[in-house]
Amino acid sequence: MTKDVRWLAGLPAPQARYWFGEKESPGSPDAMDSFTFRITGPVDEAALRGALRTVIGRHTALRTLITRQSHRLLTTVVEPDAVGEVLEVRHAAPPEHEQALRAFAHRPFHLDRDLPVRALLVACGTTDDGPSHLVVCVHHVAFDGWSATLFFSQLGAAYRALRHGELPPGDPPSHYERIWRAQSEAETERDRSDLMEWAQDLVGVPDLPLPLSPVPDSPGALGEQLVVLSPRHTGLLEVAARNAATTPNALLLTAWVRALRALTGGRDFAVGLPVSGRTSLASMTAIGCFVSVVPLRFRAPGHVEGDVERDVERDVERDLGQTVAGLAKALRFQFSPLESIVGEAVAHDAHRTPLCQAAFVSQEQTDLTLRLDGAESVYVPRLKPESAFEVTLEVWFATRTTARIKHRVDVLDQRRAARLAGLWRAEVDTVVKVCADSPR
């Protein structure tokens, strides 16, 4: 296998994955994202339309159409001057406006003729007095979480300039495919060899033993459990991480692995870790789909009778060692050739996500910011109705650390999900105690 594993059917692998996902399941919430803002105050429609076209014009990913020709995917990049209207404006009073927002967000993209971004402004009165809601819907062939911060920052700056009759700021343009190619070509032969050696170690990972409901009422539908760590516990976590010469996130992931093992009895499984996929300076200011999910494999040896307290300490140290080694590889490569791994693996249940049934997500922010000059804009977060992952731990590490366990209801009912939350909370305490007490 060569560096070509970073390309699928002629496209950067992350982009191609979401294209194939859209073809397999049109309108899937896992392949799309919507961002909603509640706006109080007047909205200048002309300035908003112009600002959207300005930002789209800067980034080729937002102007790319994808078509299939035999076994290859071909891209057509629309010229900035040819970008059509992407903003719809409607007037609807509550609660009808919510229905309009939901229908707009769930409408599938036709990626061979639609730009992968569209926006809807729903005014409850008029756009001169508000309140209004703005929803921007994007497809992951062109967008990831990093892109969202860039997009709304640039949108607000362009809106302000156009509203005052000025030229928008000259943010640098980006060419997604060129940046992806430059990143892949920057790898050395040793890098590629090490990547594939790591990938081979992931072949044959068994399914995590989470039984699917025989006839689920809502396949893919999500439930959630919230866990909050007090400031005192967060402080202990920081002390333990320093003592173990690692990060709090490494300890939290280790506890997550141990909780999944305790709930399921699985001794060999993978946990998916989203990584930004941005390894060059040019990628830092580019909108596009760079993100990848890197599966980290966790193995536990058979149980050997011995001193219980020492066994726990040894097991935590082993699990933490696997976590630290996996995180180091994930940060080094920022990519995993999932298709190659799955192609060599034994057959999996068609209803399961290969390798990454479980995920661990470290969130750096809870809110997006869109500054609309002359109005107040507040981000309205929404829980996705579905997920490709069966169970995900999302963590916001702060003074009061907050975690959310999102779980598919056809995999975990509310009772078992609550038990998993309790197990994770208890394993955090165990990992912290071992790391705080162990001399380094």
Domain CATH for 359: 3.30.559.30
Q: What are phi and psi of 238, to 5 degrees?
A: -65, -40
Amino acid at 192: R
Asked if residue 386 is part of any domain, the answer here is yes
Write down the pLDDT at residue 343: 60
Is the overall model pTM greater than 0.85, yes or no? yes
Task: Decide which of 144, 177, 210 is a domain's last residue.
Answer: 177
Query: Could you list the residue range(s) of the whole structural domain that residue 264 is in?
Result: 188-365+382-437
Task: State the pLDDT at residue 199.
Answer: 83
Q: 158 and 205: one domain?
A: no
| pLDDT given for residue 2 in this prediction | 44
Number of DSSP helices (H) and strands (E) in the chain, helices first: 11, 15
Q: Residues 94, 237: one domain?
A: no
Q: For position 346, what pLDDT does the model report?
A: 54
pLDDT at 365: 59
Low-confidence residues of the chain: pLDDT under 50:
1-2
pLDDT given at position 160: 96
**What pLDDT score was predicted for residue 366?**
57
- Same domain for 202 and 169, yes or no, is no
Residues 223, 307, single domain; the answer is yes
User: Could you tell me if residue 130 is left (phi over 0), alpha (psi between -120 and 50 degrees) or otherwise beta?
Assistant: left
134 in a structural domain: yes
Which of 128, 147, 177 is where one domain is finished?
177
Residues 223 and 171 in one domain: no
8 A C-beta contact, residue 181 and residue 392: no
Q: Starting at the earlier edge strand, list the strands of the sheet with 32-40.
A: 87-91, 117-123, 132-139, 32-40, 376-380
Phi, psi of 206 (to 5 degrees): -70, 160
Q: Specify the number of domains making up the chain.
A: 2
